[in-house]
Structure 1
Amino acid sequence: MFEAPAPATVDRMLAAQQHAADQFGQRATGRRVWGYRARTLSGAAGPHWLRLVCAEGGTLWNGPSTSRTLPAAVPRPDLFRIRDWTTDGYAYRAELYALAPDPMVSPRPVLDEDPGLPETWWKEMTAALDALADVPPPADREAVREEYLRRVIPQFTGHQVEDVTWSTTHGDLHYGNVTRGPHILDWEGWGRAPYGYDAATLYLYALLTPATAARIRTELAPVLDRPEARTGLLTVAAQILQAQDRIDFYAEIADPVREHLARL
């Protein structure tokens, strides 16, 4: 999803991936999927999916393992096994998943064409978001901090924040993290965020294709039409505008996001 890092990092992560595959009795095959700043490296391993994380501790480290407590109504691949180790000053975690039976909606986080998702997909996604929102927001997992959103929303959107309705969210629900099943992937950042945050991500990340975005806005109306979803949408918009100078796909959607904010 992101570009490969410097050769030394590639070599180090590939060696760690091979070690993980050996520990699980699997063989890493297929294309490599790099995460942001090469913190993760994923790919098929036999009949499974192998995800390697290079970081230490914190909510991102434990996100996938703790997400196993979420309701079965939230569709996601099973996480079978976990291995942790440290070598040469780097801490690694390897996670072995069931391989999702269907392809990702998009190879990129944002949509630049209509993916042609059927109405049933949107009904299932809305049901999954409802099931997730019914989970009491965890006290120990924050997808978005309150002090952060109260700072960036006025700074980058020109809007003010009043009361915030908190709910449990995936935290990174873009089109490279959902399949045509749908199955929702990559649970490292799940936790508490403003209500509607995930639905707003799906909507704003589709603004490059206005007709598709309009349809998504209609499909997700049960979430986005609720007044408490406004802060979730403003939070996603502010994050996009804040990061547009360092992340290419945010730069691509920044102008459509500004146009949308002007209509609020």
Structure 2
Amino acid sequence: MYSPPPDPDTEQRMRAHHARAARALDVQTEPGGEFWGWAGRTLGTPARTTAGAPAWLRLVSAPEDKASGKLWDGALDAQRTFGDLDGHRPPLLGVYDAIDNATAYRAELSARVAEPVLSDDPVLQHDLQLPDSWWTGLAEVLEKVSAAGTERVAVRQQYMDRAIPEFLGIPAPTATWSTAHGDVHWANLTAPLQILDWEAWGSAPVGFDAAMLYAYTLLQPDTLARVRAAFPILGSPAGLAAEATVCAQLLQTVARGDNLNLEAPLRHWAEELRHR
């Protein structure tokens, strides 16, 4: 979750279009609980349908000529492919599109998840005590996701070929590909288990979601051990390509000045991967 954008025009514009989308989708937004995305690109709030059902209304904006592709259509594609994933994914209830002044807007109305996310930060800041059933459920759901066919791409081979040598100093390992959520971290998970934010899903190296969760758990050794136990692909030859890709991605964010608290454990992980 981010603060409102520093540009007051962006803030006003997004709020106005969010209200317009609420009217178009016939829902009533509830006061408080605004959730802004990076640089004001998205705005989400709790809402209720005319029948009184709790919902979540999320508005995303982009320049009109860029309002397409993986990120733009992620939630809609996920609904068509996965539905509610046996109750572990909030279903999409409606979509509203608009264009104004060369900016495209998409509003996505989803069922509201009652449980709070397990962390306000993608990087886990404290150990979690989660039951074995939660870990088993997460592994099972991600296995179902991995078996789905898709033409969407979460990770490109060209990126691996460039980033892994740059940030890890080794050639990109040979990858086997499957389907991944693409952004499994602690701010996208709840207990009981729901997996949120399906914007970036698509094909990725096998084990990518497990490797991503591992990366965002590096500061908490006890929970990190649970991640390893739940996903035995971690540390195996089959998981090397996914782990190297995620480690390179996060080291790239460090180079840009983000996730600095992960720098030391990421560099230690990179050294392990080089030895493997």
Deviation, 1:37, is 2.8
Deviation, 1:208, is 1.2
Amino acid at match of 1:151: R
**Structure 1 residues 74, 59: CA separation in 2 closer, same or farther (over 3 Å shift)?**
farther
CA distance in 2, matches of 1:101, 1:4: 24
CA distance in 2, matches of 1:18, 1:70: 29
Q: Is residue 160 of structure 1 aligned with residue 171 of structure 2? A: yes
State the TM-score, normalizing by the size of structure 1: 0.93
Amino acid at match of 1:48: A
CA distance in 2, matches of 1:251, 1:169: 26
CA distance in 2, matches of 1:70, 1:106: 27
Amino acid at match of 1:185: L
CA distance in 1, matches of 2:224, 2:255: 23
Deviation, 1:65, is 0.4
CA distance in 1, matches of 2:169, 2:242: 15
Amino acid at match of 1:17: H
> What's the counterpart of residue 58 of structure 2?
51
Q: Check conservation: 1:74, 1:128, Cα contact below 8 A.
A: no
**Structure 1 residues 43, 124: CA separation in 2 closer, same or farther (over 3 Å shift)?**
same
User: Which consecutive unaligned segments of at least 5 residues does structure 2 have?
Assistant: 49-53
Q: Is residue 235 of structure 1 aligned with residue 245 of structure 2? A: yes
Deviation, 1:263, is 2.6
**Structure 1 residues 263, 163: CA separation in 2 closer, same or farther (over 3 Å shift)?**
closer
Q: Is residue 207 of structure 1 aligned with residue 218 of structure 2? A: yes
Secondary structure at the aligned position of 2:187 is classed as coil
Q: Check conservation: 2:210, 2:227, Cα contact below 8 A.
A: no
Q: Check conservation: 1:43, 1:51, Cα contact below 8 A.
A: yes
Deviation, 1:220, is 1.9
State the TM-score, normalizing by the size of structure 2: 0.89
Residue-by-residue CA offset, 1:45-72 (whole Å, 9 max, x unaligned): 1210011110211111111001113343
Q: Is residue 256 of structure 1 aligned with residue 269 of structure 2? A: no
Residue-by-residue CA offset, 1:225-264 (whole Å, 9 max, x unaligned): 542211111111101111114353x222121111122233
CA distance in 1, matches of 2:211, 2:81: 21
Residue-by-residue CA offset, 1:77-103 (whole Å, 9 max, x unaligned): 010100000112210000110011321
> What's the counterpart of residue 145 of structure 2?
132
Q: Check conservation: 2:247, 2:269, Cα contact below 8 A.
A: no
CA distance in 2, matches of 1:158, 1:112: 29
Residue-by-residue CA offset, 1:100-121 (whole Å, 9 max, x unaligned): 1321111111101012222111
Deviation, 1:16, is 1.0
Residue-by-residue CA offset, 1:184-212 (whole Å, 9 max, x unaligned): 11111110111111101111101111222
Q: Is residue 246 of structure 1 aligned with residue 253 of structure 2? A: no
> What's the counterpart of residue 51 of structure 2?
none
Share of identical aligned residues, percent? 40
* Aligned residue among 32, 35, 44 for 1:33: 35
Secondary structure at the aligned position of 2:106 is classed as strand
Q: Check conservation: 2:164, 2:245, Cα contact below 8 A.
A: yes
> What's the counterpart of residue 4 of structure 2?
4
CA distance in 2, matches of 1:124, 1:41: 30
194-203 vs 172-181, which moves further? 172-181
Deviation, 1:128, is 0.7
Deviation, 1:4, is 2.0
Secondary structure at the aligned position of 1:260 is classed as helix
CA distance in 1, matches of 2:119, 2:108: 23
6-15 vs 23-32, which moves further? 23-32
CA distance in 2, matches of 1:237, 1:73: 31
Q: Is residue 119 of structure 1 aligned with residue 118 of structure 2? A: no
